[in-house]
Chains A and B, each alone.
Chain A
Amino acid sequence: MTRDFEGKTEQDAINQAIEALHIEREDFDVEILDNGKRGLFKKANVKIRVHIDSDSDDEKDSKPFIPSDDSTSDADYADDYDQEEEEDLEPNEELEQKVCEFIDQMVSHMGYESKTTVSSRKGKKVNLEITSESSSIIIGRKGKNLDAIQVLANVYAGKIDTERKIIVDSEGYRLRHEEQIIKTAYRTAMQVRKTGRSRLLEPMNPYERRLVHTALNDVTGIETKSEGEGLYKQVRVISKRKRY
């Protein structure tokens, strides 16, 4: 038996299949019909075809999970949404030029060379790209140098124009990193759902935690909560299934 599903991500499509057919992930094979990749920033829905073994329709597991009831109990999750829909501001070219120059000067004082340019703008956000031969140092371990540059660039930009938010990237690190976070989150969610045991993800900043909460929001059978203090909290993935 085969059925086709469509979702924002491969995982999303698989989850829809699990929910619609009341089966476990182990009971079917997934064939990807369309991976939805339309270049770096454009993504279409992922289409999958689900192949189900005909002998796996035993009734005992037919409803293993309660559908998610949309109550996501997380403080930093609630105010995560309002950043989405906003008008694009007029580009502030003076600011952009000054911030790019500030970054390049800073990098040059660090002993490296770089060229910073504006790659895109959205809403309040100005995305900057640092091109450098030493990009691995600019990014740093787990992106910590890139984050530090971004913090300083934002303080500097705030002196000129308080409306803008500067995002600094190099070699597509942020996108790669985000995909990695979401992948790890899904993998953990699947494990939690299978074992019923909660798992703690590594410490993340508010933006990264938001990615996890949003990504796991449509996964049934689990919920997410942030734990800890300060900027870097940890997300705990908890099973909603009752354990006996």
Chain B
Amino acid sequence: MEKELVEYIVRSLVDQPDNVEVNVVEGEKSTILELRVSPDDIGKVIGKQGRIAKALRTILSATATKSGKHASLEILD
């Protein structure tokens, strides 16, 4: 659910959508989404002063969650 959301948005923004990978780490109270993109695209998902990353996290936190769990996004490189 959150995984699909992040995948959809990030794939729409980057130049190499095939290299977008989202790993879900389920915790007891929260879900961590680990995002990996092609090194050339990392700037596209972070943005100047983290603007894009921040927008992604805002959207993620506004997402309707059936589980009521908090989801956080980590961008790995």
Contacts and interface: CB of A to CB of B under 8 A. Distances in A.
Contacts of A32: none
B40 interface: no
Given A109-B5, A230-B49, A102 B12 contact: yes
B55 interface: yes
Contacts of B55: 147-149, 151-152
Contacts, number: 60
Main secondary structure of the interface of A (DSSP, over half): helix
B44 A106 contact: no
Nearest to B45: A155
Interface in B1-53: 1, 4-5, 8-9, 12-13, 44, 47, 49, 51-52
B8 A106 contact: yes
A65 interface: no
Main secondary structure of the interface of B (DSSP, over half): helix
Instruction: With a 10 A CB-CB cut-off, give which of B12, B49, B63 has the most chain A CB atoms.
Output: B12
Interface of A: 102, 105-106, 109-112, 137, 140, 144-145, 147-149, 151-152, 155-156, 159, 230-231
23 contacts: A102-B12, A106-B59, A109-B63, A110-B59, A110-B62, A110-B63, A111-B1, A111-B65, A137-B62, A145-B58, A148-B55, A148-B56, A148-B59, A149-B59, A151-B47, A151-B54, A152-B9, A152-B59, A155-B13, A155-B44, A159-B13, A230-B49, A231-B51
